[in-house]
Amino acid sequence: MPIVVGSIFILLGLVGILWSRREQKGYDYRLSTRTDLREFLNHWPVRPQPGSLKVGGWIAVVVGLFLLLLGAAFLIWG
């Protein structure tokens, strides 16, 4: 069971990291096509911050790896 949950955490973490990259590229592209920087200065409209998605993704990957190792240890020594 920990192996399955760990795999799901790793997949969710990778999705979060990839979503973060896509969000950052889209944000940078939108800023480069505008003549003013009002969106950059006011942070409106509010959208998920790419940095928080990246950090959350890495945390999920680390927790997933820990659960995979825990599940493997239970399989070997259990």
pLDDT of residue 33: 73
- The whole-angstrom separation of Cα 47 and Cα 77 is 46
Rounded alpha-carbon distances, angstroms, from residue 41 to 25, 27, 52, 76: 18, 13, 19, 55
What integer is the mean pLDDT of 61-75? 96
What integer is the mean pLDDT of 14-41? 80
DSSP 48: -
Q: Note the pLDDT tens digit of each residue in 32-61.
A: 676 667 776 776 776 667 888 999 999 999
Element (H, E) at 56: helix 50-77
pLDDT of residue 40: 67
Indicate the length of the chain as a whole number: 78
pLDDT of residue 43: 67
What is the chain's mean pLDDT, rounded? 87
Residue 43 in 3-state DSSP? coil
